[in-house]
Amino acid sequence: MANRLSVRYEPVHTTEQEGLEVVSVPPPPVLDKPFQVLPNTPAYSQPIPVHTQQYSYNGPPPPIDYRFSQFGQQGYPGGGDNGGYAGGHPQFNGGAVPPAKPERKIWGLKRWVFIAIVIAVIVIIAAAVGGGVGGSLASKSNKSSTSPDSSQTTSAPPTSTTNEVPTSTTSSPPLLATPGTFASVKSSTSGQDDYNSITYFFQDTNTPDIYMWTIIRGQDWVQIGKLDGLNPPPRPNSTFAAVQAPDDDTISLFYVADNGTLFDVTGTGTDTDWRMGFLAPRTNYGVLVAEDSGIAAIWWGIKDMNGPGYSIRIYYVDSAASRVRELAFDANKSPQWFVTDQPLETCLPTAKIAIAHLPPNETSTLMETAHLFYQDRNGNLRHYAGYDGSWSLDNAETISQSTLPSGAYLASTIYVNAASNYTLHVWFLDVTSRLSVLTGLGKSIRLDPNFQNVGTFEARELVSSVTSEYISNGEVPGGSLGAVGWVEGGEQVRIYYQANSVRNDNKNGAVEIAGTLGWASKILEVEML
């Protein structure tokens, strides 16, 4: 293999420089000592800066002065004055290179090698001595601590506390949700006013968290837990509404975010993982609900067997106009979510809204009726009936049989029984937190044009005073009642609201009022999950 010598030069801007000439090199003398041979492999060559050139010497290598150990750091002998080539490294231009001083050695070793060995030996000796002294002191300390003093009597060893956890002298009870705002739904069979399950929701007071309880027919109540997936979270102490259509496990929950925008989320009564819907984005986040007001929602129409099922109607207080608005969902229209132009009334800015729905039969929307209840600007209780999706002020009335506190919690139910002219109930809390009921008739004038649909409400009745002791009316600004009703050997109704913890041994819970032939109450205490 031919020997190769690489020479590294400083960068130049061009190879065509004036004054450059090639100097002939005499034949190399015979070397007394062989020089190091560089492999002809790029990996072993010296690194070359960008824009430099590398020259290889063809033929036998030139003579090398062994006083220098690095090839790239010496001048390349050219003329007789030992001057470097023009363009070479600056430190080698301009004359002969001075001889290097001989390197000093100690005991045949280079000075830096000898010094490194001495330092390493000193460190090892110091570590050994330190370890021995430390071990001796530790041993003495251990013996001193384990040997009893001669002036003391031997006693039993202390109890080990390795696994003990220090306990606080004062303990606080676990934080449990405090029921505030309520909503409730029931699952049913299409064409029947029955119930297969009941689900009620409550919002924890002063927090956005919403909890769910479910009872399946023939079983007991189960606390399912806190709903997940509500993003953005609901506004604390705000009313929300829920809808569950017949033959459907899915529940739609409608709530208000902190900025007042109405959102929807869907899930089932047996799972806490819920999923956000499209109400807000498809209404351009423009449905803004008045603070501390209420929401009501119902399923609507005939089930679309080839589509998503039933339509939906939501009633809320418009924050800008303090007016009741109707928001509709219809999968067969575009857009699917839209605010209708129904002539609903102005109302109290903090009015709660309740609705009772008389469903249509299985083949026609004839006799489908919605009964709205809310407080007008003067705080009076208003009843507004809508038939087959149409509203007229001719079917609105003021119920003067009772005075409601401003922003009173409301709920309503209807008894789906033609023989009773579809008994209609309005549930509310009076100024003394007593659960009260107003009873009227909810028959459809489309089914019976001669039916007098206004002026049917009777005087207020009080629900059992015993059950009212649990009510904490007014503690939650946006509070509301939950209510469901169905037919089973007569009229059945269930009402849900917050329990007064003082009356409930300071325990957080919800109250269920059951109305059949009489009244019965049950406390559903909030549990730790």
Residue with tokens 């990996």: 43
Residue 66's contacts (CB-CB under 8 Å, 6 or more residues apart) are 33, 35
Q: How far is residue 473's CA from residue 66's CA, in Å, rounded to a whole number?
A: 104
Burial of 291 (0-12, 13-18, 19+ CB in 10 A): middle
In eight-state DSSP terms, residue 26 is P
Q: How far is residue 301's CA from residue 78's CA, in Å, rounded to a whole number?
A: 106
Q: Where are the domains of the chain?
A: 1-108, 181-525
What is the CB neighbour count within 10 angstroms for residue 294?
Answer: 32
Q: How far is residue 111's CA from residue 318's CA, in Å, rounded to a whole number?
A: 92
Angle CA 240–388–492, to nearest 5? 55
Q: How far is residue 86's CA from residue 92's CA, in Å, rounded to a whole number?
A: 10
Our measurement of the distance from residue 329's CA atom to the centroid of its chain's CA atoms, rounded to an integer in Å, reads: 27
Q: What end-to-end distance do the CA atoms of the chain give, in Å?
A: 83
**What does residue 120 show for φ and ψ, rounded to 5 degrees?**
-60, -40
Show the tokens assigned to 470: 């649990």
Q: Which segments in the chain show pLDDT lower than 50? A: 1-23, 25, 31-100, 133, 137-173
| Neighbouring C-alpha atoms within 13 Å toward the C-beta of 50 | 0
| Amino acid 383: pLDDT | 97
Three-state DSSP class for residue 520: strand
| Amino acid 472: pLDDT | 58
DSSP 224-266: EEE-B--SSPBPTT---EEE--TT--EEEEEEEBTTSBEEEEE
How would you classify the pairing of strands 309-318 and 222-226?
A: unpaired
**HEC assignment per residue over 414-459:** ECCCHHHCCEEEEEEECCCCCEEEEEEECCCCCCCCCCCCCCCCCC
| Amino acid 199: pLDDT | 95
Q: 144-151 contacts: CB < 8 A, separation 24 or more?
A: none
Residue with tokens 């003082």: 502
Q: How far is residue 466's CA from residue 131's CA, in Å, rounded to a whole number?
A: 81
| Amino acid 150: pLDDT | 38
Question: What's this model's pTM, rounded to 2 decimal places?
Answer: 0.66
Three-state DSSP class for residue 381: strand
Residue 394's contacts (CB-CB under 8 Å, 6 or more residues apart) are none
Shortest CA distance to 477 belongs to which of 286, 294, 280, 305?
294
Three-state DSSP class for residue 71: helix
Say if residue 335 is preceded by a cis peptide, omega within 30 of 0.
yes
What is the CB neighbour count within 10 angstroms for residue 422?
Answer: 22
Q: How far is residue 176's CA from residue 196's CA, in Å, rounded to a whole number?
A: 29
Which architecture characterizes domain 181-525 according to CATH? 6 Propeller (2.120)
Three-state DSSP class for residue 466: helix
**What does residue 119 show for φ and ψ, rounded to 5 degrees?**
-65, -45
What is the CB neighbour count within 10 angstroms for residue 389?
Answer: 17
Q: How far is residue 229's CA from residue 276's CA, in Å, rounded to a whole number?
A: 7
Distance of CA 23 to CAs 6, 20, 54, 387, Å?
Answer: 18, 10, 17, 113
Specify whether the CB–CB gap between 223 and 241 falls below 8 A. Answer: no
Q: How far is residue 407's CA from residue 83's CA, in Å, rounded to a whole number?
A: 105
Q: How far is residue 444's CA from residue 385's CA, in Å, rounded to a whole number?
A: 9
| Amino acid 48: pLDDT | 28
